[in-house]
Structure 1
């Protein structure tokens, strides 16, 4: 009993450290941002949330900062995978989380299906949130575009997907199940974390991402595969980022 208690305490500290270095910290900042925006004149309706803003007025440094940000944002993923690899289990981390390439057709097919199932309702939910005044105007791409902007936006989409799905779904759900939590408590906790770090966009995106977290969490519980979730999330962000860059002006004029 003492050994199990000590192990649980160690893993709990580990989880707090991983989240504190990554999406847990983002959730705290997002909550503060939500409060600030909600208390501004006009409330959330008149606020904006820029997802991929320029990092410098000079092109070369903008590019360098963007690429460095993407690379360093993936360090918590490496940490989570490393920590899971230290567990005394027979399966490797790739197979354990469903990050291997054993089932490419399955992963691609279900990734595309999940993208469609989440993406279309997500657009409707965003529109409803704007109508109700509980969602800020989301600006997914920078104002100034260079020749490298689209590739960097695609890399940013991949980074978001890998970070969120590996840490929030694969790592966190695996660790919480190890504490003996019930399935739906684990899924709900992971979904709540996902919703929290989107609150800087408003209440609507927070709720929408909580629902997305429930769907993705249940999927992982049933299949033990994260890769389709990474594919679906990447497609969602690529369409949002690149689509806005290409068609944002036309949509604003319509």
Structure 2
């Protein structure tokens, strides 16, 4: 006679995280991503404040060349850096998937409404980007911000594509973790919507402190706006589009115009 088949174990939906576990997990995710960046940014700002020079005369360089004399190796460095920076995003989505079967749908990063996402993203980019430029110039004039050199990759053929990818990396990393992941976990930890939006915005500002106090204030304001909008629409896709457009304009615009526009330098 054939052996009796083993009883089938019925597996129910995964249990939601306990509040303390949700909070601990979110701290660990931040510790390997944007939270670590916040700590380094604070140290960078202290170093700049104690350098004996005014902030506005100091330059904060972004998207720098690593080996300018070997463009092929420089390109490899840039692409590897972009790829490794996105690992925490995969980690956050993996952790969400343990309790939520469809994490991309949960945080609004699916393809249900591409045209609406695009329209909302472009609208947010305009609302944030134009005042943000004014705030940067005002903060620099008041000696509250460094001069930000947004791109220094030289004039090789891959400069613009890499800057576009770098902008996309920033957008995906920040919005998936700061909005999609943390808003989910902090809600599970029992936080109020107001507390979630405010703390997320403060964290966002803190990892931009390397630019100066103007970068902090501007990104806190951006975080408050994006957090409030995310609570309303529950989709990260428009936020990623907005952030991507803003950074493309900043990175590519700087690379193309720095030698022609005096106040950029």
TM-score with structure 2 setting the length = 0.91
State the superposition RMSD in angstroms. Answer: 1.6
Give the 3-state SS of the residue equivalent to 1:250 in structure 2: coil
Instruction: Report the CA distance between 1:7 and its aligned residue.
Output: 2.3
Q: What is the aligned partner in structure 2 of residue 201 from structure 1?
A: 211
| 1:55 maps to which of 43, 46, 66 | 66
Distance of 2:136 and 2:153 partners within structure 1: 21
Q: 1:134 to 1:253 in 2, by over 3 A?
A: closer
Cα distance change of structure 1 residues 72 and 180 upon mapping to structure 2, 3 Å threshold: same
Gaps of 5+ in 2: 1-14
1:110 to 2:129 alignment: no
| Residue 82, structure 1, aligned to residue 94, structure 2 | yes
Aligned to 1:14: 25
Instruction: Give the aligned partner of residue 210 of structure 1.
Output: 220
Which position in structure 1 is the counterpart of 2:250?
A: 240
Once residues 74 and 137 of structure 1 are traced to their aligned partners in structure 2, the CA distance between those partners, rounded to angstroms, is 27
Query: Could you tell me which residue of structure 1 aligns to residue 198 of structure 2?
Result: 188
What corresponds to 1:73 in structure 2? Answer: 85
Counterpart CA distance in 1 for 2:87 and 2:200 is: 20
Higher Cα radius of gyration: 2
Corresponding residue SS for 1:249: coil
Moved segments of 4+, more than 4 Å: none
Q: What is the DSSP-based 3-state SS (H/G/I as helix, E as strand, rest coil) of the residue aligned with 1:211?
A: helix
Measured after TM superposition, the shift of residue 59 of structure 1 is 1.1
Matches within 5 A, 1:121-140: 121-140=131-150
Indicate the larger mover: 234-243 or 134-143: 134-143
CA positional deviation for 1:228: 0.2
1:8 Cα deviation (Å)? 2.4
- Matched with 2:5 is none
Cα distance in 2 between the residues matched to 1:179 and 1:11: 6
